[in-house]
Amino acid sequence: MKKTVLSVKTLAVIVVFTVQYARAQKKAPQLGKASIEEVINAMTPEEKALLLVGPGMPGYAGLTPLEGEPDMRVLGAAGGTAAIPRLGIPETVVADGPAGLRIQPKRKNNTNTFYATAFPVGTLLASTWNPELIEAVGKAMGEEVKEYGVDVLLAPALNIHRNPLNGRNFEYYSEDPLVAGKIAAAYVRGIQANGVGTSVKHFAANNQETNRLTVNAHISERAMRELYLRGFEIAVKESAPWTIMSAYNKIDGTYASANKDLLTTVLRDEWGYKGYVMTDWFGGYPGFENILKEGVVSDVPAQIAAGNDLIMPGMDAQRALLVEAIKSGKADNNAINTSLKRILGYVVETPTFKKYKYSNKPDLKAHAAVTRTAAAEGIVLLKNEGSVLPYTNTTQTIAVFGDTSYNFIAGGTGSGDVNEAYTVSLIEGLTNAGYKIDQDLVTAYTPYVKEVVAKEMKRREENGGLLAVPQRLIEMHLDAGMVAQKAKTDAAAIITIGRNSGENEDRHIENDFYLGQDEIQMINSVSEAFHAEGKKVIVIMNIGGVIETFSWKDKVDAILLAWQPGQEGGNSVADVLSGKTNPSGKLTMTFPVDYNNHASADNWLGLPANNPTDVYYKEGIYVGYRYFNTFKVKPSYEFGFGQSYTTFEFSNLNLSATTFKDEVKVTVTVKNTGKVAGKEVAQLYLTAPAQLEDKPALELKGFAKTKALKPGEQQTLTFVLKAKDLASFIDAQSAWVAEKGTYTVKVGASSEDIKLTKDFTVATDIVAEKVHDTFKTEEGFKDLENK
C-alpha cells in the first residue's frame, strides 16, 4: 500500500481551509440570543441599509398588491422594518392611524374579513378632556393592532391647531399644547399597554398640508418650545412612545427629518427619549412629484446623523445611497450604529419577534361599545336655548334635514381613515333610540344623497383615490311649501351640517369654513318655518375642524357639535340628544366670529401665496385663546367652552402656599347643583407676571374632569403647579424661567368663564430648566407682542 505523505505546505492549506470552513459554518449571531452589539457587528453595509431604510410600501398606500406582488402579511399596512433572516431579524409591521387601525378589510382568496373599529377623530377625543377615557380607547385600539399582527400604530397625531383651515386638524387635538400632550400621553399608554408600539407624529410644526413636504416654517425658539414642542414633550415624558415620526416640513431651513436640534438635542439630550424616530412617508424628498425621479434622493446620511433612525417607507435609491456612504466612510458610523441599536432594541420588543400568535379576531363588539361611549363624551353642547335638549319626545315625528344626516361622517380621509365594517348614520341612531323620523324626508333625501355621494366618490377616484381630498355634498334643494308643511306636521327639526377633509390639502375659507349658500338657505328656511309654528330647530355639526357659527347660531335653538364621532356616531349623538348621556365635552380650540380674527390668518400658508415655500409664524405664541383672550377679540365660542344638562358650582379654591417654593397645590370643589347627573371639567389657567417677557393674558396649566356627579354631589379636584408650569421660555437665557412677581390662579369652566381666582407670589426668578440654544431662525422677524 502506497503511503501518502503530506507536505507541510499542503497541511497548512488544509488547516486554514478547515478553520475558514468552520467559521463559515458557525452561525451568524442571532438577534435575541447574541447581544444587539454582536448582531450589529456582524452586519454587512447592505444589511445595515436594509434595516435603516424601510423595505418599501408593498401595494402602495395599502391598496391591494400590484400585479404579481405577493400578499403582505397585513394587507393595507403602511410599511415596516425589513427582515434579515441570516441574523434572526424578523420583519415588523407598522400601520396607520389615529382613529383606529387602518388596514385592508378584505384579502385575496380569503373569506375572512379584517375590519377595524373606527373610533372618534382626534378633535373629538380631545374634547372629552378625559385622559382616563382616552387611555381606555387606546387599550381597545391597541388590542386590534396586536390581534391583526401589527407591531406599531402610526399615531397619535398631535400637531397644534395653528389655524382652523389645516386639513388634518381633525386628527390633531388642540390649539393648546397641554391638552394635546395629556391626551396624546393617555392614548399612547392605552395602546402600549397591549405590548404594541405607537408613533407620535408629526414631530414637529407640521401645521399645514399645503406644500407639506417642502415648506420651510420660520418659527421663533420661544413659539417652538412653548407651543409646537410642548405637547410632544409631555407625551414623551409621560408615556414613553416606542417611536416618533418626524414631520415633512422644514424648520428654520432644515427638514424636520434632518434636524439635529429637534431629533437629538431636544428629543434625546433634553427630554431623555429612548425610542427610535422614523421619517414620515418620503419625508426629506422635495415634493411627492420628485420621489421617483432619477437622481433625487433624500439625504439619508444627514437624516440618520441628525437622529432620524428609520427612513420610511424606504426606496432602493435611499438604500443604495446609504450603502455607498457606509462603504466610503462618508456616513457617520456612530450615528449608523446608534440608529441600528435603537431599531433592534425595538424589534426585540415587538409581538412579531416574540412570535405572538395573533388571532385576526379582535373583540370588535366590545370596541363598538367603547367608541360609542367615548364619542358621546366628546360631543360638545354649544347652545341649548330654552333647554330644548335633552329632546325626549318619541311620540311625534322629527323632520331631519341635511345630506349629512343621511350620510353621516365617521372620520376624515387619508391615512387617518379607518376601514370599518359599518357606520351608524344619524337616522339609524335616532331610530335605534326610539325617535320617530319623518319618512317623506327620508324618501326624498335617500336617492338624492345616494347620487351625490356616488358622484363625489367617482370624483375622488379620478383625483388620486386614497389621497383625494373630499368635497362637501351640495344640499338638496328644499321647496318652501314642503318645509312649511313639515313644520306643521312634525314636532321639531334637526339639521346636520357636514364637513370632511384629509391630508394633502388644507381647507378653504369660502364654502368650507364659512357655510355655503345652499346651507344658509337650508338653515334659514327650516328655522323660519319651524319657528313660525313655535317649534324648535336643532343643529348637529358633523365636522372634523372648526367652521363659522356666529352668523347663524341665533337662528337655531340648539347646537350639538358631534365632530366625526366614529362608526357608532349616530348612536352616540342619539345618546346625547336623548339625555342618556349628559354632554360634558368642551372645546379644545377657539370658534372665532370671523376667520380673520385668528392672528395666524395673516401668515397662514406662507409665501409666495400661489405656491408657498416659506411660512412665517409671526403670531409667535399668540395662537388660539392665547391670542383671543390677550388681544380681547371676542370669539363665537371660546376655548374650553361646553354646556351641560345640569349646572355646576365651583367653590373653595385653595392654594397650599401663598409664596411659591417647589410647588403649589391647588384644590377646588365642584358641585352638581342641577337636576341630572353630569361631569364637569375644571380648567386651571394662570396669569403670570410679564417683566422679562411678553405673556398671554392667561394660559392653561391644568385640567381635571369630575366623575359623574349626582345632583347635589360634589368632588374636590387637585392640581399641582411646579416651577416649569409657571415658566415661560426666555430666549436670551435659553431657559424656562418662572419670573418673580404675582401669579393669579384662575379656575373656571372655560377660558372666559373663570369662577374663582387666587394669587401667589414668586420671590425671585426661578430657572426651572436650562436648555440648549437651538432653532436659530434664519432671518429675523419679531414675534407678535402684546404691547
Which residues of the chain form contacts with ligand BGC (CB under 6 A)?
78, 96-97, 154, 201, 280-281, 415, 503
Cβ-based nearer residue to ligand BGC, 141 or 653: 141
DSSP string, 355-405: T----S---HHHHHHHHHHHHHHH-EEEEEGGG--S----SSEEEEESHHH
Pairing, β 741-748 against β 754-762 = antiparallel
8 Å CB contact between 537 and 522: no
CA distance 689 to 691: 6
What is the nearest approach in angstroms of ligand BGC to the Cβ of residue 282? 8
Catalytic residue (one of 261, 280, 557, 725): 280
> Which residue bears the cell 339625555?
579
Phi, psi of 681 (to 5 degrees): -100, 120
Cβ-based nearer residue to ligand BGC, 125 or 698: 125
What is the nearest approach in angstroms of ligand BGC to the Cβ of residue 269? 26
What is the nearest approach in angstroms of ligand BGC to the Cβ of residue 780? 31
Cβ-based nearer residue to ligand BGC, 118 or 684: 118
- Per residue, what are the HEC states of 110-171? CCCECCCCCCCCHHHHHHCCCHHHHHHHHHHHHHHHHHCCCCEECCCECCCCCCCCCCCHHH
What is the nearest approach in angstroms of ligand BGC to the Cβ of residue 319? 19
Cβ-based nearer residue to ligand BGC, 232 or 660: 232
Is 557 annotated in the active site? no
Amino acid at 781: F
Question: C-alpha grid cell for residue 190?
Answer: 392605552
Helix extents (H) in 287-355: 300-306, 316-327, 333-347
Phi, psi of 669 (to 5 degrees): -110, 130
What is the nearest approach in angstroms of ligand BGC to the Cβ of residue 248? 7
CA distance 626 to 389: 32
What is the nearest approach in angstroms of ligand BGC to the Cβ of residue 503? 6
Instruction: Please state, in angstroms and as integers, the Cα–Cα distance from residue 272 to each residue in 53, 295, 343, 560, following that order.
Output: 24, 37, 17, 42
8 Å CB contact between 217 and 260: no
- What is the SS3 assignment for 92? strand
What is the nearest approach in angstroms of ligand BGC to the Cβ of residue 421? 21
> Which residue bears the cell 331610530?
431
What is the nearest approach in angstroms of ligand BGC to the Cβ of residue 566? 19
Bridge partners (DSSP) of residue 539 are 495, 559
Cβ-based nearer residue to ligand BGC, 103 or 441: 103
Cβ-based nearer residue to ligand BGC, 285 or 530: 285
Cβ-based nearer residue to ligand BGC, 503 or 619: 503
Question: C-alpha grid cell for residue 136?
Answer: 381606555
CA distance 619 to 786: 11
- Burial class from Cβ neighbours inside 10 Å (0-12, 13-18, 19+) for residue 661 reads exposed
Cβ-based nearer residue to ligand BGC, 209 or 557: 209
What is the nearest approach in angstroms of ligand BGC to the Cβ of residue 129? 24
CA distance 330 to 322: 9
Cβ-based nearer residue to ligand BGC, 120 or 390: 120
- Burial class from Cβ neighbours inside 10 Å (0-12, 13-18, 19+) for residue 213 reads buried
CA distance 611 to 23: 59
Which residues are part of the catalytic machinery?
A: 280
